Amino acid sequence: MSGAPRLILASQSPARAKLLTEAGLRFDVIVSAVDEDAVAAAAGDPTPAETALLLARAKAEAVAALPEARDAYVLGCDSVFEFDGEAHGKPYEPEVAIERISRMSGREGVLHTGHWLITPATAESPAPGNAPDDGGQAPSSSIAAGAGATQSGLGRLSSATVRFAEIDPAEIRAYVATGEPLHCAGSFTIDGIGGAFIESVTGDPHAVVGLSVSTLRALLSEQGTGITEFWV
């Protein structure tokens, strides 16, 4: 790989792209065609945290295998909200969102965001299994990258506890009617209309948005690259 390194965000989330932009990073977006439900089903019965990391990895690996991602760092992310021991992804249907938000009113849950970073085959990277496996971090692995090359991947989880205010039923219906919560993990956002209903966040607030820039920095560092190399 010659010249400045490339970073690809394997996500169609505008919120994640906005976070990277506001952090002053240079990146491209390539959306994966991963069937999230099929990936989660094939894993058996993963915990909400495991699901977030599993889907982040699937997205990153799918995009990294594309010719247009050659010689690029590929970041996959996925968020899952854990509430009452259940994994809450995107509700899609208004009735589902209303039911979930009604239960969340005045209570708290944990938003897990999984990050998986694929390093270019030509970049130096730690040997599989040499990275420490703690703090929600997954061990590195190798995946096929075409033409006999391999790429290494490293994952890490970033989680934050979200405390919700007491929300009036009329407010819940009005919020769901905006359409915002239907395509958000957990049926809420912190950086949009839903922020009015969040009392506090314990942990990295960027994890609640869907991408922790500090976690990305840590993953890049563990793979031998500084985040400053991606500054605009």
Distance CA 180, CA 17 (A): 17
Using a pLDDT cut of 70, give the percent of the chain over it.
Answer: 86
The predicted structure's pLDDT at residue 152: 78
At 203, which amino acid appears? G
Per the model's pLDDT, the better-predicted residue between 200 and 152 turns out to be 200
Mean of pLDDT values over 59-67: 96
Longest dimension (CA), the chain: 58
For residue 126, the model assigns a pLDDT of: 39
Provide the β-strand partners of residue 76. Answer: 116
Cα distance between residue 47 and residue 86, in whole Å:
8
Residue among 30, 31, 77 nearest 215 (CA)? 77
pLDDT at 206 over 60: yes
- CB-CB contact of 119 with 151 (8 Å): yes
Domains in the chain (CATH in brackets) are: 6-122+151-230 (3.90.950.10)
Active-site residue set: 78
The DSSP code sequence of 1-59 is --SSPEEEE----HHHHHHHHHTTB--EE------HHHHHHHT-S--HHHHHHHHHHHH
Q: Is the pLDDT of residue 38 over 90?
A: yes
Report CA torsion sign: 42, 46, 48, 53.
Answer: negative
pLDDT tens digits, residue range 103-140? 999 999 999 999 999 999 743 433 333 333 344 666 55
**The two structure tokens encoding residue 32:** 């994966």
Query: What is the pLDDT averaged over residues 6-27?
Result: 97
